[in-house]
Structure 1
Amino acid sequence: MQLVPWNPWRDLQEVQEAFDRAFGQKMRQWQLPALAASWRPAVDVIDGEDKLIVKAELPGVKKEDVSILVSEDQISLKGEIKRDEEVKEKDYFRSERFYGSFSRTIPLPAPVDQSKAKATFNEGVLEISLPKAGGDKPKQVNVSIE
């Protein structure tokens, strides 16, 4: 009998490979983290009567480090997270750092008017308001955070 190193992602990799065989690469909705180093923000999409609201949780991210790109049928969030935490006490010292980038593209349930998109950022929550479309619109628009 041979010992095999434990890999916590092995079961997930097998499930992902099974989905890839069954549905192909285009059906992949999630990616395995590279040694648990990647991070993706949690996102909610709320479909209102005349607009869509997209809320993303971005704790520890500054609004200057976030970029929003909207097309008619999807929204992309990209940015960087930089977090330093240092604790100095009489008997111990602890320092933790986390740096990395994130990217998330979310399909939208209805076409939107990108030119009227508005975004706010408050206490680590990014909220983007996207009015539903009614005609010909540009392909993509960058949205600035107020």
Structure 2
Amino acid sequence: MALVRWNPWREISTLQSQLDRLFDETLVPATSLERGLLRVPPAEMKETEEAIHLKLEVPGLEAKDLDVQVTEKAVSISGERKSETQAEENGKTRSEFYYGKFERVIPLPARIQNTNVTAEYKDGILNLTLPKTEQEKNKVVKVNLEQSAV
């Protein structure tokens, strides 16, 4: 029987990397790309003077399978990718598709009029136009400048 020197730092390092992997897989949208899986839809946000434009990628779903809820401060999108059942007797099936429920809440940088939101869903891309409230459109911030003594 051989003696092996115990290094507690190695175990802590292993635990740290396992925790990092756990949080990467559940919280960040694109961390599972190495396995070909996306758990939440990736988003792109563009802010103009009049509105916030939000684009979400949700391929493989129909509009009826999506639930989009908008408040003055955030957008919540949820849905479910249902698995297709395949019967195969002698062979094996390998799938890299992700099936199951997903939900993503995106905080907005400005207050919006959630009663005037427009949505368009085409080819797996959901486009939302979120018009800003009048207070946000006219918001001007006064910056006080002081000369520094040199």
Alignment-derived partner of residue 79 in structure 1: 79
Q: Identity over aligned residues, as a percent?
A: 25
Change (3 A) 1:31 1:93: closer
Q: How many residues align?
A: 116
**Distance in 2 between the 1:15 and 1:92 partners?**
32
Alignment-derived partner of residue 41 in structure 1: 41
Q: Which runs of 5+ in 1 are unaligned?
A: 3-7, 17-29, 136-146
Secondary structure of 1:64's partner?
A: helix
Change (3 A) 1:15 1:81: closer
Secondary structure of 1:11's partner?
A: helix
Secondary structure of 1:116's partner?
A: coil
- Indicate if the aligned counterparts of 2:76 and 2:104 stay in contact, CA closer than 8 A: yes
Change (3 A) 1:95 1:44: same
Deviation at 1:84, TM superposition (A): 3.0
**Distance in 2 between the 1:114 and 1:9 partners?**
44
Secondary structure of 1:32's partner?
A: helix
* Higher Rg of the two aligned structures: 2
Question: What is the Cα-based RMSD across aligned positions, in Å?
Answer: 3.7
Alignment-derived partner of residue 51 in structure 1: 51
TM-score (normalizing by structure 2)? 0.61
Change (3 A) 1:47 1:85: farther
Q: Which runs of 5+ in 2 are unaligned?
A: 7-13, 136-150
Alignment-derived partner of residue 19 in structure 2: 13
Deviation at 1:99, TM superposition (A): 2.5
**Distance in 2 between the 1:40 and 1:104 partners?**
6
**Distance in 1 between the 2:18 and 2:48 partners?**
35
Deviation at 1:33, TM superposition (A): 3.0
User: Given residue 73 of structure 1, which amino acid in structure 2 is its aligned partner?
Assistant: K
Deviation at 1:63, TM superposition (A): 0.9
User: Given residue 116 of structure 1, which amino acid in structure 2 is its aligned partner?
Assistant: N
1:69-118 CA-partner distances (Å, limit 9, x unpaired): 111111100111124386x9xx9664646420110000101100001001
Alignment-derived partner of residue 128 in structure 2: 128
1:3-47 CA-partner distances (Å, limit 9, x unpaired): xxxxx995262488xxxxxxxxxxxxx66339x787111011110
